[in-house]
Structure 1
Amino acid sequence: MSNGVVSQSAVTVSLEDLRKGNVDFSTLEEAFGPSSLGIIVVKGLPEKFVELRHKLLSYSSYLANLPAEELVALESPSSHYLVGWSCGKETLKSGVYDTLKGSYYANPAPSFSTPSVQSSVAAKYPSFPEYTAPNVWPPTTLLPTFEPTFRALCELIIDVAVLVARACDVYALAKVEGYAPGYLEHVVRTSVSTKARLLHYFPPPGASPSSKEAGEEADDDDWCATHLDHGCLTGLTSAMFVDEAASPPILPARSSDSPAISSPPPPLPELSSSPDPAAGLYIRSRTNAVTKVGIPRDCLGFQTGEALEVITKGKFKAVPHFVRGASSKGGKVARNTLAVFTQPNLWEKVDGEKDFAAFAREIVARNH
């Protein structure tokens, strides 16, 4: 790519090797170490992954194209819009409110769906509604199977994240003084603070931040400002590109006589590739080099977060990254993806003294 931006393949391992514990230390260092891109790709996923990904990322377009009044009903102002639907609530680097993408947030941890667990955590941390507020799901009369599809895909991603964490534990036990055996796997497996974000990058109406060349230093990350994830491992699907002019994501009309949609909307046709080669995930290295990283459609990526860097005492590094949607030159093309942030429980110790609640508060204060 031009202007100093390069494309690079991420370190790739198989799910079978993770299960058997066959991922060597040099591979983990290449993926997560001080000079790494901070991401590993896992191939050989269960067959159901491809179908779940296609179905849920199609739902992202259907959801984002609902009438405004139905989207407002899915918002959660009390959680600072970090539960349910959110659009135009965060600012870009330029200070402009971001209306170019919509997000749907939920906590997919199975135990969090138990009302007693959710209410207990909320009572213990009343000042953290971002992590403790109950999920808001679209009604089944509107988007049938949205919730079970969302949960099934997220739980699959968490299961794979557990295996990545297990490999990291083996490494950390050998390389990090005083490391507690199995700590990261415990954090990922048992967390009720996990957060999933289903993203929909709207087809640009015209010139947009992403229409700039990715290497332009002034605004190259203005679409989704450069940031670090502050959890442990972030599970990422590849992006799905949809031509919403050719395949409008509009639900069937309803009436008072027939207020419910009887069957799930069909998965949308997926473009074979992005019409804009500049769209995608970018990682900014410690030498300020910008690298575009792709995730194959049948694979998952796992990116390092700040909590992982602290837990491993800097052996694994969180890497700054940003995302770009398709430019207006791509026509009426939307970009959909899913990120699952595996984060410690609010009471888990991150550095031996500070719990994740205090750690997260510091990061939010620093970033905002």
Structure 2
Amino acid sequence: MKLTRWAASVEKPDASYSVGWSCGKETLANGRYDTLKGSYYAQPIHDAEFERKARELYPDCIEMTSPNVWPSENALPGFEQFFEQLCHIIVDTAALVARSCDRYGVAKLEGYQTGTLENIVRTSVSTKARLLHYFPPPPLKSEDERPDSAMATDDDWCATHHDLGALTGLTCQMFVDEEAHRPFAKPDRSGELPPLPELENHPDPKTGLWIKDRSGRTTQIHIPRNCLAFQTGQALELITRGKFKAVPHFVRGTTADKGGRIARNTLAVFTQPNLWELVDERRDFATLAQAVLGGTV
């Protein structure tokens, strides 16, 4: 009950649960609610003038314009500070990647403006961060049946999809054995929560992030610890007229008999254009976002 009250205090139903805490609100390809992961969403780039402009021009785009909500310091000491610090590291690194993409765009695309993507990455208040916790798999109901909230496919932890934005920054995946290290720690004398010991890898070697190339072949992605990876999204594909392609990807889960009580944790930062910025000759990013989120593209 205490956890339920905490979750309710940081949920934003009016923003379609795309700000703050979200769990069991998304539907999978089979129509069932996804209860196998929890997400915490926030927009880490702040500019009062741009934020006001977005709210005034796009009052119905609440998912992109709603202010962040954070748990209290008593509930999660340091959470807001550390969340935004890590996001800023990822955004600053993404800007360097974007600079290289811009050089390619200038060389290959007529009329492409120097600094197009780097400016989006550095200044857009639409950039969205998603801290993800994939819960340990529940026991199977029978020998060959997946849990109700999962699909009987390889993408049961996260279905195959394209990211909406320009560049997505990803941390390495952090696996924690919650049987050995229960995630109910209390702050130490410094007031901070102690870190949970990480596993070097998952006992099921196929668990984790996979991508598909242009021919449909799948490749597992291993991001080294203390490293970042970046992948391209739909907005960048449109901005570069298809020179960069949005990467289809999914997260493969496991079953309790293979994975025990092991959880997966990661942070994704989706750098996205400001809502009013054009992604092609006729659409701004708000139009693209509403079409994608509404399932019309």
* TM-score exceeds 0.5: yes
Distance of 1:145 and 1:66 partners within structure 2: 20
Partner of 1:56: none
1:219-278 deviations in Å (ceiling 9; x for gaps): 22233111000100000001000011111111449xxxxxxx971110110111112212
Partner of 2:293: 364
Distance of 1:66 and 1:168 partners within structure 2: 47
Partner of 2:34: 98
Q: Which of 119, 127, 135 matches 1:202? A: 135
- How do 1:112-151 and structure 2 match up within 5 A? 114=48, 117-151=50-84
Residues 66, 121 of structure 1: alpha-carbon distance in 2 compared, 3 angstrom cutoff: farther
Q: Which of 204, 210, 223 matches 1:282? A: 210
Instruction: Answer yes or no: is 1:225 the counterpart of 2:159.
Output: yes
**Deviation of the 1:137 alpha carbon:** 0.4
Residues 182, 117 of structure 1: alpha-carbon distance in 2 compared, 3 angstrom cutoff: closer
Distance of 2:128 and 2:192 partners within structure 1: 25
User: Is residue 37–residue 157 contact of structure 2 (8 Å, CA) maintained in 1?
Assistant: no
Q: Which of 161, 167, 170 matches 1:236? A: 170
**Deviation of the 1:205 alpha carbon:** 1.2
Partner of 1:15: none
The aligned amino acid for 2:18 is L
Q: CA RMSD for the aligned pairs?
A: 2.2
Distance of 1:311 and 1:356 partners within structure 2: 10
1:146-187 deviations in Å (ceiling 9; x for gaps): 001000000000000001000010111010111111111111
- How do 1:146-157 and structure 2 match up within 5 A? 146-157=79-90
Instruction: Answer yes or no: is 1:171 the counterpart of 2:100.
Output: no
Identity %: 57
The aligned amino acid for 1:286 is R
1:104-153 deviations in Å (ceiling 9; x for gaps): 00001133xx4x65344223211101100010101111111100100000
Gaps in structure 2 of 5+ consecutive residues = none
Distance of 1:199 and 1:339 partners within structure 2: 8
User: Is residue 141–residue 262 contact of structure 1 (8 Å, CA) maintained in 2?
Assistant: no
Gaps in structure 1 of 5+ consecutive residues = 1-64, 254-260
How many residue pairs match? The answer is: 288
Distance of 1:93 and 1:367 partners within structure 2: 15
SS at 1:314's partner residue? coil
Partner of 2:260: 331
- How do 1:11-90 and structure 2 match up within 5 A? 67-90=3-26
The aligned amino acid for 2:275 is L
Distance of 1:277 and 1:204 partners within structure 2: 15
The aligned amino acid for 2:179 is A
User: Is residue 181–residue 197 contact of structure 2 (8 Å, CA) maintained in 1?
Assistant: yes
Distance of 2:275 and 2:207 partners within structure 1: 34
Distance of 1:71 and 1:245 partners within structure 2: 23
Q: Which of 329, 345, 360 matches 2:274? A: 345
Distance of 1:199 and 1:367 partners within structure 2: 26
1:273-303 deviations in Å (ceiling 9; x for gaps): 1122121111122322121111111210000
User: Is residue 276–residue 327 contact of structure 1 (8 Å, CA) maintained in 2?
Assistant: no
**Deviation of the 1:94 alpha carbon:** 1.3
SS at 2:294's partner residue? helix
Instruction: Answer yes or no: is 1:190 the counterpart of 2:123.
Output: yes
The aligned amino acid for 2:51 is Q
| Larger relative contact order, structure 1 or 2 (CA cutoff 8 Å, min sep 6) | 1
Partner of 2:228: 300
User: Is residue 157–residue 340 contact of structure 1 (8 Å, CA) maintained in 2?
Assistant: yes
Worse overlay, 284-293 or 332-341:
284-293
User: Is residue 326–residue 333 contact of structure 1 (8 Å, CA) maintained in 2?
Assistant: no
User: Is residue 175–residue 201 contact of structure 2 (8 Å, CA) maintained in 1?
Assistant: yes
The aligned amino acid for 1:327 is T
Instruction: Kindly indicate which of the two structures has a greater share of residues assigned to helix.
Output: 1
Distance of 2:134 and 2:185 partners within structure 1: 19
SS at 1:294's partner residue? coil
Residues 218, 330 of structure 1: alpha-carbon distance in 2 compared, 3 angstrom cutoff: closer
The aligned amino acid for 2:86 is L
SS at 1:225's partner residue? strand
User: Is residue 101–residue 201 contact of structure 1 (8 Å, CA) maintained in 2?
Assistant: yes
**Deviation of the 1:69 alpha carbon:** 1.6
The aligned amino acid for 1:341 is F
User: Is residue 196–residue 341 contact of structure 1 (8 Å, CA) maintained in 2?
Assistant: yes
- How do 1:306-325 and structure 2 match up within 5 A? 306-325=234-253
